[in-house]
Amino acid sequence: MTPTEGPAGEVVLRLDGITKRFGGLVANDAISLTLRAGEVVALLGENGAGKTTLMNILFGHYLADQGSVTVFGKPLPPGQPRAALQAGVGMVHQHFTLADNLTVLENIRLGTEPLLSFRGAGAARARVLALAQDFGLAVHPDARLGSLSVGERQRIEILKALYRNARILILDEPTAVLTPQESDALFATLKKATARGLSIIFISHKLQEVMAVADRCIVLRQGRVVGEVETRGTSRAGLAAMMVGETLAEAKVAPGPGGPVRLRLAEVSAPGLHRVSLELRGGTITGLAGVSGNGQAALADLIGGALAPLSGRIEVDGNRPSGAWTPQAAIGAGVGRIPEDRHKTGTVADFTLAENTALETYRSRFARRGVMDWRAVRAHARAVIDGYDVRCEGPDQRIRLLSGGNMQKLILGRVMEEAPGILIANQPVRGLDVGAIAYVHARLVAARDAGAAVLLISEDLDEITGLSDVIHVISAGRLSRGFARGELTQAGIGLLMAGQGFEHAA
C-alpha cells in the first residue's frame, strides 16, 4: 500500500464553523478545526463539551446547522454516514463494534466483503497480515475474537479501519478501557501510523496522555473552542488552565451558615480512591472539582454505600457505621443521593412516577408487614410532584416519558423529602436546560441553609465555584485539602486538576 496523500503537513481534514443546536442548547458553537497529514490532534474537553456531537457530525450521524466538513480537499456531503468512511475517515469507538463469535479476519472483512466467498479470503488474509506487520499490530487472523483481551480487540478495530483504507483515524477515549501497558502499546502504534502519513484525532480527557501523544491540542468547553496549543510549548498545568478558563467564576450565592461535621472520611481507600480524607460539614456546600474519570464516581459511590471501603474509616455524625456500609446503611444514616445517571441508576424507566418515588423508602415508609400501601405512595408522589414542580400528568404516569429536567426534579424531591443530613449530588444538572439548572441549584442551596452537608460533584468548574463554600480537587483518585471560598486561584486549581501539588504522591 502506498500513501496517496501529498507531502506531509498538507491539510487532510477541515471542519469549518460547525454549529449544532439541540433546542435551546448549543452543543457546538462555530467550531473550526484542521488536521494535517501525519499529525495527532487531541480533542480535550469534559463530558458535554461537544466532542461527541462534533464527531457525530463528521460521521454524518447528525446534520450540522451551519458549517462544512472537508476531507482531502473535497467537501463531505452532510448527513451521510458512508461518505466519511469512503473518504478515508475511520473511527475507533470506546465501545467496540466487533462480533465475539467471529475470527479476527472475519471481523475485519465484516461489512465490506461477503464472508462466505472463498475468493478473496486469501488476498484479505495477506493484506491484513501486511498491515499488521506495517503498523506493529501483532494479531492472529484466525483467533476467535471472544478469546482476545480488550487491548487486542482495540488493535483489531484499528486494523479494521486501516483495512478500509482509512487515512484519518479518530479514537474516542481509546485508553479508557486499557491497562497502562496496553496504553503504551497503543501509543507506539499511533507513532508508527503517523510516521506512515496517517492523521489522528485523539479524544481524551487525560492530560498526561494528551501531552505524550498529541502534537497539537484543541480544548473544547461548553461547545466552543477555548484554546489551541502545540503540546511542545505547554505543560499539563497549562492544558488544565485552558480547561479551567481565564478566570474563576464568582460565587453566585451567599456563604452557607456552616455547622458540625456530618460525614468524615479518614484515609479511606477503595477501588479508584487512594487514602481519601474528607469532612462534610452541615450548612456547607462542599464542591468536588476535577477532570472527569479521576475518582468522582468512586467517591460518590463510597459515600452513598454502593462501594465498600478497603481501608480507612467512615464516620457519620461521629459514629462509625455498625454493620457493612451498603446503600441501605447509607440511606439509613441520612445520606441522600442524587445519582450521576438518572436513567440508568436513578429511575426505573417503566415504573410510574409514584413507584419511582418509593424506590429507596418502600420498606421503611410505605409497607406494613410486607404489604405495600400504594395509597400512601401515591399521596407522597403527589406531594413530591407539587413540591418540586415536576411537570407531568400525575403519579401514575410512566417516568420514561418525562423530560430530563422533570425526572431530575422528581429524584431531587424523592431525596429531599427524607430531609437528608448529608446530600451527595453527582452531576445534578448535567444535560438540563437553564430553568431546571437554576431550580436544582436553588434547592441544593436551600438544603444547605436548612443544615444539610452537601457534596456537589461536577465537571463544570463554574458550577463548583459558583455554589461551593469549600472546594476539593480530585485527581487520579487522590483528594486535595479543602480550600475555602476565594482561597483557590485559577492557576492553583489548574495545577491540582493536572495532578500536581498533592500532599502524598502516589
Partner 1 sequence: MRLEPIAHPGLARRLGPPAAAIVATVLVAALLAALAGANPFAVLGQIVTGAVGSRFAALETLNRATPLIFTGLAVAVAFRARLWNIGAEAQLYAGAIIAVLLGTGALGSPFVLPVSALVAMLAGACILLVPVLLKVRLGVDEVVTTLLFNFIMVLIVSYLLEGPMKDPMGMGWPKSAALIKEARLPRIVEGVRLHWGFGLALISAVLVWLIQTRTTLGFEMRAVGQNIRAARFAGMPVNAVLVKTALLSGGLAALAGWSEVAGLKGHLSSDLSPGFGYTGIIVAMLALLHPLGVVVSALFVAGIFVGSDAMSRAAGVPTYIADMLLAVALLFMVLAILLTRFRVVRG
**Closest CB to partner 1 among residues 110, 372:** 372
Residue 218 found at the interface with partner 1 (CB under 8 A): no
> Other C-beta atoms within 10 Å of 96: how many?
17
Residue in the block written with cell 467537501: 75
Among 50, 305, 451, 482, binds partner 1 (CB under 8 A): 305
| Least Cβ distance, residue 296 to partner 1 (angstroms) | 16
* CB proximity list for 95: less than 8 A, separation 6 or greater: none
Among 53, 154, 347, 458, binds partner 1 (CB under 8 A): 347
Residue 360 found at the interface with partner 1 (CB under 8 A): yes
Among the candidate windows 10-18, 211-219, 344-352, 442-450, which touches partner 1 by CB under 8 A? 344-352
268 close to 311: Cβ distance less than 8 angstroms: yes
* CB proximity list for 120: less than 8 A, separation 6 or greater: 113
What are the Cα distances from residue 40, in Å, to 3, 73, 136, 404, 481? 17, 19, 18, 36, 36
133 close to 102: Cβ distance less than 8 angstroms: no
Residue 324 found at the interface with partner 1 (CB under 8 A): no
Residue 96 found at the interface with partner 1 (CB under 8 A): no
**483-484 vs 470-475, strand pairing mode:** antiparallel
**Closest CB to partner 1 among residues 88, 304:** 304
**Closest CB to partner 1 among residues 85, 358:** 358
Three-state secondary structure call for residue 259: coil
| Least Cβ distance, residue 475 to partner 1 (angstroms) | 26
Residue 346 found at the interface with partner 1 (CB under 8 A): yes
Residue 391 found at the interface with partner 1 (CB under 8 A): no
Q: How many residues bind partner 1 (CB under 8 A)?
A: 31
Residue in the block written with cell 501523544: 213
Cα distance between residue 459 and residue 319, in whole Å: 31
Residue 376 found at the interface with partner 1 (CB under 8 A): no
Residue 344 found at the interface with partner 1 (CB under 8 A): yes
Beta strands in 290-415 (DSSP E): 311-316, 335-338, 367-368, 371-372
| Least Cβ distance, residue 418 to partner 1 (angstroms) | 12
Grid coordinates of 358: 418509593
Contacts of 159-162 with C-beta under 8 Å, sequence gap 24+, read 159/108, 159/128, 159/131, 159/132, 159/135, 160/90, 160/98, 160/107, 160/108, 161/90, 161/91, 161/92, 162/90, 162/131, 162/135, 162/193
Among the candidate windows 111-119, 160-168, 350-358, 433-441, which touches partner 1 by CB under 8 A? 350-358
Site track for partner 1 across 59-88, x = CB under 8 A? ------------------------------
**Closest CB to partner 1 among residues 183, 352:** 352
**Closest CB to partner 1 among residues 246, 350:** 350
Residue 223 found at the interface with partner 1 (CB under 8 A): no
**Closest CB to partner 1 among residues 169, 415:** 415
Which positions lie near partner 1, rule CB under 8 A? Answer: 304-306, 326-328, 330-331, 337, 339, 344-351, 355, 358-360, 362-363, 367, 370-372, 374, 400-401
